[in-house]
Amino acid sequence: MRLLPLLPLALLAQAHSPPCTNKTDATRDAIMEIITSPHTDEVDLLAAKSLYTLSKWQKKHDRNNTCTIENAVRRREWSNLSGRERIAYTDAVKCLQRLPAKTNSTYAPGAKSRFDDFVVTHIEQTLSIHDTANFLTWHRYYVYTYEKALRDECGYEGYQPYWNWGKYAKDPIHSPLFDGSETSMGGNGAYVNHTGVLITGTPAPYDVIPPDQGGGCVTTGPFSNMTVNLGPLAASISGVPSNPLPNGLGHNPRCLRRDVNKNSATVTTSNYTYALITESETLARFQRVMQGEFSLGKWGVHTGGHYTVGGDPGGDFFASSGDPTFYLHHGMIDRVYWLWQLQDLSTRLNEVAGTITLGNVPPSRNGTVDDVVGLGVNAKGVRLGELLNTMGGLGREFCYVYV
Ligand SMILES: *[C@@H]1O[C@H](CO)[C@@H](O)[C@H](O)[C@H]1NC(C)=O
Ligand SMILES: *[C@@H]1O[C@H](CO)[C@@H](O)[C@H](O)[C@H]1NC(C)=O
Ligand SMILES: *[C@@H]1O[C@H](CO)[C@@H](O)[C@H](O)[C@H]1NC(C)=O
Ligand SMILES: *[C@@H]1O[C@H](CO)[C@@H](O)[C@H](O)[C@H]1NC(C)=O
Ligand SMILES: *[C@@H]1O[C@H](CO)[C@@H](O)[C@H](O)[C@H]1NC(C)=O
Ligand SMILES: *[C@@H]1O[C@H](CO)[C@@H](O)[C@H](O)[C@H]1NC(C)=O
Ligand SMILES: *[C@@H]1O[C@H](CO)[C@@H](O)[C@H](O)[C@H]1NC(C)=O
Ligand SMILES: *[C@@H]1O[C@H](CO)[C@@H](O)[C@H](O)[C@H]1NC(C)=O
Ligand SMILES: [Cu+2]
């Protein structure tokens, strides 16, 4: 740990090399603030370095951009929010769960709140937004739109926090995210005997994520009284009552269940994330490694994070966004995508890879920057190309960095 403060000093020296204008000072100050936070892993250090890269790149290639590191929104790690800030966040989520839905209730009787509107959209589009060309940009837009709803509709003054998996991977149950305190995202589920999560198409012993100490209803923390309304469609745990409608959109009120699972978290330690960012030469490979190379027995950080929560609906491929931790997990997915883009901005701000069907089944055309990315009742459809740059995409609405 003693080595960590040394690297930032070296970086700071670099930042001084041009004559110190006020703008340079502001950039340096912004980055210093970021790198002095309690960062502990190689991904965080890469993030600090990458902010220098971004600042240099903007000076060279993007001078006219009004979105800069100094004025960009800073999305922060859960443990870097104060207790008060964390409660403001979970209060805003609970507010979204009380606001009336916009979704047509004849079509989706299970959509009872604005929170549920987002779940409906994820359920509806599941097969065309995973292992597809739009996976990263669709989820980027989804998390952004959710953050905006928390702010605009529920008076939340902060921004979307993310879950740096590596920080808690060794002991997620006792982490600030899942310890069940009032400043957590809610606790583990009560213990129930279950078989673990089966991962089809994966060789033994990686074909199952062994169960951990939960599996039942969450009884502690801010979401202990939460009602799950939609799904299931692909429950990863037994004993979940079926939805009255085959499309999962009927009303099916039940408790929130979790199995906060260190076995799943083993593939989310920071070395996996670091390797994913630094060793994926192409976008196709980056997407594949992130989402799992199942035939090779590799779950990927995307799967690993989802099943660190597991349960119902967290472990349901379709309804997973019905567990509020989804947005912190996908905040980190977006951070990792952003970090990967920062390693080669000139190429990666313009790149799309993959087709428009899950795993290209059935075979389909390649996705393009002109494809429309839609979020149902939650936001207007936009060109995929508008979602590639967090510093000015979405008609200049996007302007955020991760710290
Ligand atoms: C730059 O900073 C100096 C003092 O730090 C101040 O006197 C000066 O007005 C600033 N210039 C601009 C353009 O803000
Ligand atoms: C969050 O990180 C910043 C540095 O980026 C630090 O100043 C602040 O004290 C941290 N807050 C908490 C609650 O950890
Ligand atoms: C930046 O703005 C200046 C002044 O408005 C303009 O002349 C120039 O063409 C712009 N550069 C780019 C790359 O857009
Ligand atoms: C709501 O959904 C039902 C069933 O799909 C449909 O018949 C009806 O036209 C929709 N109403 C509106 C206002 O779109
Ligand atoms: C869990 O259930 C399985 C069968 O479903 C049973 O064989 C096993 O003994 C149970 N374990 C415990 C600890 O109850
Ligand atoms: C859950 O509901 C009960 C009964 O309505 C209430 O006493 C309790 O404070 C609620 N807990 C939370 C965390 O909202
Ligand atoms: C990460 O570290 C663990 C534990 O040392 C190791 O088993 C695993 O293979 C490493 N993963 C990568 C991608 O290097
Ligand atoms: C789709 O993209 C792949 C990978 O870049 C490429 O090999 C293939 O030719 C493309 N297909 C079409 C129809 O353009
Ligand atoms: Cu998803």
pLDDT tens-digit readout, 60-88: 999 999 999 989 999 999 999 999 999 99
Q: Which atom of ligand 7 is nearest to the CA of 269?
A: 1
What single string gives the DSSP state of each residue in 78-132?
GGGS-HHHHHHHHHHHHHHTTSPP-S-TTT-TT--SHHHHHHHHHHHHGGGTSSS
Alpha helices in 162-299 (DSSP H): 165-168, 262-265, 270-279, 283-291
Residue 2 confidence (pLDDT): 30
Task: Enumerate the β-bridge partners of residue 373.
Answer: 382
Q: Is the pLDDT of residue 3 over 60?
A: no
The answer to whether 351 touches 283, Cβ cutoff 8 Å, is yes
Half-sphere exposure of 334 (CA within 13 A, CB side): 31
Higher pLDDT, 110 or 33: 110
Query: Span 340-363, mean pLDDT?
Result: 97
Cα dist. 285→146, 147, 163 in Å? Answer: 28, 29, 23
Residue closest by Cα to atom 2 of ligand 2: 37
Please indicate whether residue 186, judged by its CB atom, sits closer than 6 Å to ligand 6.
no
Whether the CB of 107 sits within 6 Å of ligand 4 = yes
pLDDT at 223 over 50: yes
Q: Which ligand is nearest to the CA of 44?
A: 2
How far is it, in rounded angstroms, from Cα 314 to Cα 293? 21
CA dihedral (279, 280, 285, 286) positive or negative: positive
Q: What pLDDT was estimated at residue 41?
A: 86
| Ligand 2 atom index nearest CA of 34 | 5
- Domains of the chain, start order: 1-71 (no CATH), 77-402 (1.10.1280.10)
Structure confidence at residue 9 (pLDDT): 37
Indicate the range of 26-40, 232-246, 259-273 predicted with least confidence.
Answer: 26-40
Pocket test for ligand 2, best of 80, 87, 401 (most atoms within 8 A of CB): 80
Measured in angstroms, how far is the CA atom of residue 219 from the centroid of ligand 6? 10
pLDDT at position 152: 98
Give the distance (Å) from ligand 3 centre to CA of residue 67: 15
In this prediction, residue 11 carries a pLDDT of: 42
DSSP string over 263-332 = HHHGGGSHHHHHHHHHH--SHHHHHHHHH-BGGGTB-HHHHHHHHHH-SBBTT-TTTGGGSTTHHHHHHH
Atom number in ligand 4 closest to CA 104: 1
The number of C-alpha atoms within 13 Å of 222 and in the hemisphere containing its C-beta is: 22
Nearest ligand to residue 356 Cα: 8
Query: Residue 22 Cα, ligand 1 centroid: separation in angstroms?
Result: 6
Give the amino acid at 17: S
Q: How many CA atoms lie within 13 A of 280 on its CB side?
A: 25
- Per this entry, what is the length of the chain? 403
Residue 266 CB less than 6 A away from ligand 7: no
| pLDDT of 363 higher than 70 | yes
Mean pLDDT of 242-263: 98
Task: Identify the pLDDT of residue 326.
Answer: 98
Q: What is the pTM of this model?
A: 0.90
* Distance separating alpha carbons of residues 224 and 248, to the nearest angstrom: 23
The residue whose C-alpha atom lies closest to atom 12 belonging to ligand 2 is 80
pLDDT class of 262 with cuts at 50, 70, 90: very high
Q: How far is the CA of 102 from the centre of ligand 4 (A)?
A: 12
Q: Mean pLDDT of all residues in the chain?
A: 92
Q: Which residue CA neighbors atom 13 of ligand 6 most closely?
A: 222
For 310-347, the pLDDT digits (tens) are 999 999 999 999 999 999 999 999 999 999 999 999 99
Residue 13's pLDDT is what?
A: 39
Q: Is 222 in the pocket of ligand 6 (CB under 6 A)?
A: yes
User: Which pLDDT belongs to residue 6?
Assistant: 34
Residue 352 contacts residue 368 (beta carbons within 8 Å): yes
Q: What is the pLDDT of residue 338?
A: 98
| Ligand 6 binding pocket mutation candidate from 225, 227, 255, 256 (most atoms within 8 A of CB) | 225
Least confident of 5-9, 10-14, 173-177, 294-298: 5-9
Whether 269 lines ligand 7, by a CB cut-off of 6 Å, is: yes
Gap between the Cα atoms of 400 and 403, Å rounded: 10
386 CA distance to ligand 7 middle (Å): 35
Q: What is the model's pLDDT at position 1?
A: 30
DSSP 383: E
Say how far apart CA 241 and CA 253 lie, in whole Å: 9
Q: Tell me whether strands 215-218 and 227-228 are parallel, antiparallel or unpaired.
A: unpaired
User: Stretch 177-206: mean pLDDT, rounded?
Assistant: 96
Q: Which two tokens stand for residue 99?
A: 């606001």
pLDDT at residue number 199: 93
Question: What is d(CA 58, CA 401) in angstroms, rounded to the nearest whole number?
Answer: 14
Say which residue, 78 or 23, is predicted with more confidence.
78
**For residues 234-239, average pLDDT:** 94
pLDDT on residue 226: 98
Q: What is the pLDDT of residue 12?
A: 38
336 CA distance to ligand 8 middle (Å): 25
- CA-based nearest residue to 94, from 225, 229, 266, 214: 225
* % of the chain residues with pLDDT over 90: 86
Query: Which of these ranges, 47-56, 154-163, 176-185, 320-329, has the smallest mean pLDDT?
Result: 47-56
